[in-house]
Each structure stands twice: as C-alpha cells, then as structure tokens.
Chains A and B, each alone.
Chain A
C-alpha cells in the first residue's frame, strides 16, 4: 500500500498575506510552512499504510526556490521521501498547471492512492486534486471525512451539503480529505532529526517532460485586471457583560422586529 500525499508549502499563515504588485501572484518569499490542511492527508496516509501492514508514504510538492521546510515537517512525522518540483517557469501557474506538474510527479511514484486536502489555506481554489485525478485517468472521491480500505476497495464517507454519502472506489484513486478526518500526530525529536536526511528529489519541468507553455503564466491563460480594498463593515456598539447584556441583545432583536 503506497500512498502519495500532495503537500503545499505556503507562507506562514500568522503573517498577513500579500499580492506582488507587479504580477498579482501571492508573495511566497521567506520560509514556507506545510499547509495545515495537508497534515490531515499525511496522517491519513500514515494510518492507511499502518493498517495495510506495509508500504510507504511519499510526498509530492511544487514550490518556488527549492523550498523544503514544509516538506521536512511531514517527513518528520513518518513520510519516507518526497518529490519537489521547483522551476522558475512555474511562476504564475494556476490550478490546472499545478495539477499537470503534480500528476507527472505522481506518475513517477506509481502509488496506489493519492491523498490531498480539499483546498489550500492560501489560495482556496479547490480543484487541483480532482484535476490530478482526471489527468491520471483515475477516479476520485472528494471531501472525505472517513476513509477505510479493505480488499483493495476504498470506503469513504464523503461530506455533502446536507449530510454525507458512503462511497466505494477501486484503487488507484485520488481522495481529498477534510480537516478533522484524523488527528495529525506531532513529530518526535527522533523524527525531526531523521527527516533531515530523508531523500527529497528535486525536479524541473523539463525533467517531468512537460511543455513549459502548459504551466506558469503562459499556461494559466487568465489575468488580474484590478485589485482593490473591499468595502469594509464598520464595527458597531460594544457592551461589556455585567450580567445584563442579554437585555441589550433582546432590545436589538426587538428593534430589528425579529421579536
């Protein structure tokens, strides 16, 4: 049971995000961290491999400037190796371009299962994993809140707007997992030390046999026309509860004719 997990390395979410004024891409300078929403895929992969009693978890990532800091976090919890695709021609890639890169990298690993988050925390596009599935010619189950594998068949509880569906799916397949699907483990000191020497294979677009016109700004075929501050909502009245604040809420609801 070999699992590949897509890991996005993003700017630290504690810092305010910013767009590059020249090309309107998200500023991704400085140290990148593993997107927290990918920690669930990593943990899910580790648990599925444990249950299967064999196999390994590999990571696949695309990031600028040969960034590996976010990958090391996942390697420290138990993933054994990673493929990192880093290439200046990838700047400006959209979800489809990214999916082409990830699919080509995944094809080199030949896993039984690909796991990814439902969407990244920085870009929120939310289509990349299923685009990867279509590129690979594989089925996919998105929004998984529970995943099991028995007799080579995936059994997934898939979130829906109103509840959930039970879905079965043969392997190989792509599954996107929701936050909370599993509780990610913390890396041990031993794991952190070991992660430093785990192999990270760095590849370029040419290494993957992709045409540069399919990725980056050229492949994205979209442009930002304008960026402006949105109309802000103003803060209103603030009351500090001294045991009677519910009366003010009641009055407010009466004013609005809710009561």
Chain B
C-alpha cells in the first residue's frame, strides 16, 4: 500500500467528523495518507487534517455555488489519469460524498463499494466490511482489478484519534486543477438553510431520544424534544415521521439518515424497522418504549417498556424534573 487518499468535506471551515474517522483508519493501512479537499478555507482545514495524519492536501479550491460532485470528481480523475494514482480513495457516506463517488466512478470507469463499515489492509490489499440485511449479516468484499479502489464509508465506522506523536506537522498544500466539466456542472446552489438546533449535534450527542409513529401525532414530538433537553441530549426521529412531515430530515436516524452511537438511545414509539436499526444499534445502551410487545426494537433493547410512549414519557419528564 503506497498511498491512500481521503476526501475531506468541510463543514463551516473545519473537516466533517467522518473525515477524521477516515484519516484515522487510513493511517493504519501502511502507506502515505493524502487528502483532497475543496471549499474556501483549505489553510485552516489543512492544519487539522495534518494532526490526523495527512501528509499532503490537494486543494480543489473554492467551488462557489456549484454542487461538489462534478468538479471534485473531475479534479481527482484528472490527477489519476495524469499518473498520480492512489491505491484507494476513501469517501464519507454523506450526500455530497455519494455524488462525488458516483461521478468519479464513471470518470475512472471503476466500480465503487458503498455502505462500508470497516476496512482491513493485509498483503497489500484492502478488504471492506458491509453490514447487510439490517445489520444481521456481515459481508466482506474486495476489488479484483480496480485501482484506485473507491470506498464509500458509513459515518461512525471508525473512532477518530489524532496521530502520534502529537505536535505541529507540516502539511503540504497543492492546488489541483478542475478540468472542463461541461453540462454536468450546471446546477447551482442559490440558498442554504440550516435547521435550528439547541443542544448537541445528533451524531455527537451522548444521549439520543428518538420518536416514531407511536407518538400518534406531530404535536407529541414536543415530548421527545423536552426529554432530550432534560438529558442534555439530542432529539432524533424514525424515517416514518420524517416522511410524514412531522419533523425535518436533519433529525432522521437510520440507513437513509444519520448514524448515531450514543451512550444511551431512547426509542419512543419506534417499532424498529431494519432501516432504522442500522443507524442506532451500535448505541452502548438502548431503552425502547413501544405499545407492541412484538416490535423488533425489543430484540435489541437493554430495557424494553411495553407501553404507550405518550403516557410513559410525560411521567418520565415529570420524575426527572422532580429530582432537581
């Protein structure tokens, strides 16, 4: 393994959490670790990336209001076809990451492995782990004749740790060019909206309180928010109530939403569809409150309460308040 590239998506001028997780993993593969980033603040980003083991940062530069997919994929493909060829490119499974992976795959005419939850390097090859069938089955795969290997990795698959020894590392920043992208690059972002949030980020919170259909009505989601606040945690939701328009997508937990690994996960009125469980089953402890004794969520809950969440949660809120 000579060289691994990690795609570094930025969030507000710092690398997204998944980037640090991927850098930590890549350091263990036995090659030099380099990064491809884009956005307005590559200098400050590079310092953080260096701390996590990046030796070099390829900077696509500020892409303005363009969606990242076409430009970033074209810039990487151009490096590879010019002879700067890593053994693998690790890409976080974010919305933009998936777009970039898809376009890069076509530009390089190489396959891509997605939903990766682990990567192992041995004998100069990388093998990837995939959790399938709602997490009941672990599948291990590898590319047969595809360099670089394109891996799209799920958040929280690795624990981010700064490189040892700590201290200032020099990181070389190399600007790379974006070749002509033609019509592929015609979409433009005209406005950005962020959901308001008080308390910790959903995928960083030590406690997550999540609500589902069993809450009965959109108004009852206030119970989830209040309990989360009392426990200094973050509120989350099942896909069912996001699709139904009760709460914004930013709260969705599961295969098509966020992956969370809190100390405690409290599922209220969530039956536990496989697509939800893959996003929360790695929680240290799971508490489930659901009316249906047969709900799948009880098969993985450390404490299961068979009961109506709209009755149990208000009492729990009162009891917590009473302790103060």
Contacts and interface: CB of A to CB of B under 8 A. Distances in A.
Contacts of B316: 246, 249-250
* A interface SS class: mixed
B194 A163 contact: yes
Given A141-B187, A239-B304, A131 B103 contact: yes
B312 A246 contact: yes
Given A131-B105, A256-B263, A238 B141 contact: no
B41 interface: no
A224 B140 contact: yes
Given A96-B105, A135-B106, A233-B281, A161 B307 contact: no
B220 to A, nearest CB: 16
Contacts, number: 260
B142 A258 contact: no
Given A130-B103, A238-B306, A221 B287 contact: no
A223 B305 contact: no
Interface stretch (B24-32, B44-52, B127-135, B169-177): B127-135
B183 A137 contact: yes
Contact of A99 (B106, B107, B137): B106
Contacts of B189: 165-167
A230 B184 contact: no
Interface in A208-230: 219-230
Contacts of B289: 241, 245, 249
A155 to B, nearest CB: 8
A237 B304 CA distance: 6
Interface residues on chain A, size class: 35 or more
Contacts of B307: 240-241, 245
Interface stretch (A47-55, A83-91, A104-112, A121-129): A121-129
Nearest to B278: A124
A164 interface: yes
B184 A134 contact: yes
Q: Which 4 A-B pairs have the closest CB atoms?
A: A241-B307, A180-B243, A130-B102, A134-B106
Interface of A: 16-17, 19, 24, 94-96, 99, 118-119, 124-131, 133-135, 137-143, 145, 158-170, 173, 178-180, 219-230, 232-233, 235-241, 243, 245-250, 252-253, 256, 258-259
Interface of B: 11, 67, 69-70, 73, 94-95, 98-99, 101-103, 105-107, 109-115, 127, 131, 133, 135-146, 152, 182-195, 206-207, 231, 239, 242-245, 248-250, 255-256, 258, 263-264, 266, 281, 285-287, 289, 293, 298-308, 311-313, 315-316, 319-320, 323
20 contacts: A19-B137, A24-B139, A127-B101, A127-B105, A134-B184, A137-B182, A142-B69, A142-B98, A161-B258, A167-B189, A221-B144, A225-B127, A225-B141, A229-B137, A230-B137, A233-B300, A241-B306, A246-B312, A252-B303, A253-B287
